[in-house]
Structure 1
Amino acid sequence: MSQTVNGFIKNRSFLALWLGQAVSELGGAIGALSNSLLVYELTGSKLAMSSFWLVYFIPSLALQLIIGPFIDRWSRKNIMLFSQLTRAFVFLFPILMIFCGNLEFWNLLLLQAVIGLIQPLYAPAGTAMIPTLVKEKQLIQANAYIDGTLRLMGFIAPPIGGFLAAWLGPEETLAAASLFFFLSAGFLFTLKEKRPEYKEERQSWLEQLSGGIRYFFRQRLLAWLGIFLAFVQFGVGVTMVLNVPYIVDELGGSELDYGYFMAAFPLGYFAGSMAAGKLGCLTSRRLMMLGALAAGGVSYIFLSFASAIWAAILIEAAAGVFIPFFNVHNTSLYQKKVPRRLLGNILSVRLFINRGAMMIGVLIGGRFSEIFGIRPMFFMIGAIICIAGCLGILLPYFKFLNDDSSPAQHSKTDTAV
């Protein structure tokens, strides 16, 4: 394992991407924590929290639907640099409003809308770049290391954000988020991108977009992997609305307790990612991936019964250990099965579906938590995810998830550097 890590470190372009993504995740997690706390302090409303996240998802979905073909034609490095610099500057806006003594809810909504427009550019560009920097046999480990590191940053960020918010103030928290995005851009600037030159005739944007959508849904492995991932993202959307009131109102916690709770899942995820990268697929891929999905659903059910903060933190950490066995292999399969000339487009289709599922989760979380309460909502989303995973394991139809017979046909120019 150490030799593999050393090999990735010596690959300077991959290292630049690795560090750039890690620092970006740190800034994004700190910024999201700060914004969520500010919104709840300004409004005290779960419905306002729902609106806050809808403002993120609606522009994100609108752009995600059309941007895919361009990610495969534009420089992915430049897309990521533009994304990071834009996010760095936009986090300075609410700081200015705070100094002017005039921070309002709409200021945070504006920040959230801009971040929502940026994510559809940054996420698929970064994922699509990985196969051009490492060999195919290294993809599972490369994704595991990057995914695990991002979750490790997510573990570090909430306590840092909670400390800054509780002891120094929101200005310092937002400034830290902005600084990390600037630093991420610096790492990504050193990345040497190798862009494949495709010999086929260039297609129009509409032809590329429709072709990518058709390709996605005609490959049942890709389509069902996307659908199962959508169940996970649905749960994430609901918890975006529920997490703050769950800790503050249901369990009587503080901002620091919220930080610990938000750090628990990334800590478990880091451990799970390292295990997923090292172990690979020791048993049935179908059983491993969908078993992890079902275990994630069970964790939500346990949260609905938790009565102490320490119990909720332990449950979140345990859930984090299981989910990488689904996510890491999910992403690696896309990178292996999809031709690289289509990868950005296909990943954008997948992200569009996931963002849509998250937005539905936000809508349901904001609306129905006011009616039924927070704990019943945790139980409901847990049951939905658990049932989806169990059906995938038990129904014979899903045996194709173990199929490795149709790898992506790569262009000769698509080799790793």
Structure 2
Amino acid sequence: MSRFSRSFKALWAGEVISEFGGAAAAIINGLILFELTGSREWMGALWLVYFLPSLLLQGISAPFLNYVAKETVLRRVQLIRACAYIVPFLSLLSGVDALTITGLIALQCVLGLLAPIYASLSFSLLPEICEEKVLVEANGVLDGTLRVMSVLAPGVTALLLMVMPMHGVYILSALLFVLSYFALANIPTTGTKLKPNWSKRFWISEMKDGFNAFVRAPQLLRLALLSSTVQFAVGATMVLSIPFIRMELDGAQWEYALFAAAFPAGYVLGTILLAYVPKTEVMMYIGLVCGGLSFVLLFFVQSVPLAWGCELFGGVAFPLFNAQSAALFQRLAPRNRLAQISAVRLLIFRATMPLGILFASWTSLGLTTRSTYAVAGSIIVLPGIYYLAKAFYHQGKGDKGHSDVQSSNEKRESNVI
């Protein structure tokens, strides 16, 4: 971490603290709702309440993100999140089931609305607080550490429940978000942005300009679409993983738990590996292709340990693509519209994941669990192989100017609107 700026360390600390608090509370949300209703449908509805409003707000709010002080908004979002966790805590104390469910729904709605704003602004802030030479590593460290928190949270939450009631975790999460606020306060504020004279016509114009800036930059669109294929496969995996281990491979519950932990564990290893590999187009697409192959290989495996190996392999491979493509996107996007374009990028991701869920759930397609893994992986691998071949071709010609990673500064200047 010594190579990173103080501002990045503050952002990293703020995100890590809040990620753990949010993951722990999410576990409690599910436990409480299932105890009250015993219904999988209610569990699904709770996630829809989180997911669907955020898609709408993300599209609407994109133009505003160009005209805010990112550091200030990030801190305010954390305070609002902290306050939101008090709602289910109070509703649980009431002892009324209807109020408790209403409190959980209110919490999910607030968190869902704030998540895309926070993610878009923190993504667009990264190039401002990191030197360009460490931007790839910064994305990898941030992403990898957040995944570590998602792995640690269930175990730590289980230990917490041995010494405190479930609703006490909400207070802990609220305190962690307040702590995140103070961590983010160490990022210097660049100053309040100019506030334009908002009108319906100006908002429509900003929306149009932002989407046009995204679409007119083929490299940005390509990176977003390639990343969205990964999100599609991840969405499908949310449906497939349990029946694959428990039914296809006749695995035990603990074997599924290790299967679920193998990918994030591999991701941490991949993040470490990222510091030692060349930051080139070729390596970026190798990560994409190998990550996609980890899904395809699940079509062939006949034992649980091999399935663990596939997930571990995918976890190691994907950071090579994710971190480098994120850094490349940050470099190529017009700096004055980065927050808005980041929101569009995230909107594509968040819209693609439910498509993967629907695809894996659509049994009328006649695909087995194994076949669905193969199709989802192929959607990643095929375009990845195409762009990997192109990268090899230009590398063989010595066309360094063609490399996205190496020529990002020049291309960013040519894309400025």
Relative to the length of structure 2, the TM-score reads 0.81
1:386 aligns with 2:381: yes
Query: Of residues 58, 67, 70 in structure 1, which corresponds to 2:64?
Result: 70
Partners of 1:367 and 1:32 lie apart in 2 by: 27
Letter in 2 for 1:407: K
CA distance 1:82–1:236, change in 2 (3 Å): farther
- Listed as ranges, the matches of 1:187-336 within 5 Å are 187-195=183-191, 204-243=202-241, 253-254=252-253, 260-281=258-279, 285=281, 287-303=282-298, 311-336=306-331
Tell me by how many angstroms 1:137 deviates: 2.2
For the 8 Å contact 2:72–2:189, the answer to whether it is kept is no
Partners of 2:261 and 2:104 lie apart in 1 by: 23
CA distance 1:40–1:394, change in 2 (3 Å): farther
CA distance 1:86–1:142, change in 2 (3 Å): same
Tell me by how many angstroms 1:354 deviates: 0.8
Partners of 1:296 and 1:236 lie apart in 2 by: 11
CA distance 1:195–1:263, change in 2 (3 Å): farther
Tell me by how many angstroms 1:112 deviates: 2.5
1:81 aligns with 2:83: no
1:25 aligns with 2:23: no
CA distance 1:131–1:394, change in 2 (3 Å): closer
Tell me by how many angstroms 1:97 deviates: 4.1
CA distance 1:133–1:263, change in 2 (3 Å): same
Structure number with the bigger relative contact order (C-alpha 8 A, sep ≥ 6) is 1
Q: Superposition RMSD on alpha carbons, in Å? A: 3.7
Count of equivalent residues: 399
For the 8 Å contact 2:68–2:192, the answer to whether it is kept is no
Query: Of residues 147, 159, 170 in structure 2, which corresponds to 1:151?
Result: 147
Letter in 1 for 2:318: I
Partners of 1:127 and 1:189 lie apart in 2 by: 17
Q: Secondary structure at the match of 1:156?
A: helix
Unmatched runs of 5 consecutive residues or more in structure 1:
411-417
Partners of 1:391 and 1:97 lie apart in 2 by: 54
Could you say which residue in structure 2 is the equivalent of 1:409? 413
Partners of 2:274 and 2:29 lie apart in 1 by: 32
For the 8 Å contact 1:338–1:408, the answer to whether it is kept is yes
For the 8 Å contact 2:67–2:193, the answer to whether it is kept is no
1:142 aligns with 2:143: no
For the 8 Å contact 1:50–1:363, the answer to whether it is kept is no
For the 8 Å contact 1:301–1:383, the answer to whether it is kept is yes
Q: Secondary structure at the match of 2:97?
A: coil
Letter in 2 for 1:75: A
Tell me by how many angstroms 1:252 deviates: 5.8
Q: Secondary structure at the match of 2:314?
A: helix
The 10-residue stretch of structure 1 (109-118 or 329-338) with the greater mean CA deviation from structure 2? 109-118
Tell me by how many angstroms 1:307 deviates: 6.6
For the 8 Å contact 2:69–2:193, the answer to whether it is kept is no
Q: Deviations over 1:319-373 (max 9, x none)?
A: 1111111111111111111222111011011111111111222333445499867
Q: Secondary structure at the match of 1:192?
A: coil
Q: Secondary structure at the match of 2:67?
A: coil
Tell me by how many angstroms 1:61 deviates: 1.0
1:128 aligns with 2:124: yes
Tell me by how many angstroms 1:302 deviates: 4.1
Q: Deviations over 1:192-242 (max 9, x none)?
A: 1224978x9999333222111111111110001000111111122233345
Percentage of matched positions with identical amino acids: 33
For the 8 Å contact 1:49–1:241, the answer to whether it is kept is no
Tell me by how many angstroms 1:120 deviates: 1.3
The 10-residue stretch of structure 1 (301-310 or 173-182) with the greater mean CA deviation from structure 2? 301-310
Tell me by how many angstroms 1:310 deviates: 5.1
CA distance 1:211–1:321, change in 2 (3 Å): same
Could you say which residue in structure 2 is the equivalent of 1:116? 112
Letter in 1 for 2:60: I
Partners of 2:138 and 2:71 lie apart in 1 by: 18
- Listed as ranges, the matches of 1:36-51 within 5 Å are 36=30, 42-43=37-38, 45=40, 49-51=43-45
CA distance 1:109–1:15, change in 2 (3 Å): same
Unmatched runs of 5 consecutive residues or more in structure 2:
395-400
Partners of 1:101 and 1:308 lie apart in 2 by: 47
Partners of 2:207 and 2:213 lie apart in 1 by: 10
Q: Secondary structure at the match of 2:167?
A: helix
Tell me by how many angstroms 1:268 deviates: 1.6
For the 8 Å contact 2:54–2:115, the answer to whether it is kept is yes
For the 8 Å contact 1:213–1:349, the answer to whether it is kept is yes
For the 8 Å contact 1:272–1:322, the answer to whether it is kept is yes
Letter in 2 for 1:234: F
Q: Secondary structure at the match of 1:7?
A: coil
For the 8 Å contact 1:144–1:276, the answer to whether it is kept is yes
1:171 aligns with 2:167: yes
Relative to the length of structure 1, the TM-score reads 0.81
Could you say which residue in structure 2 is the equivalent of 1:414? none
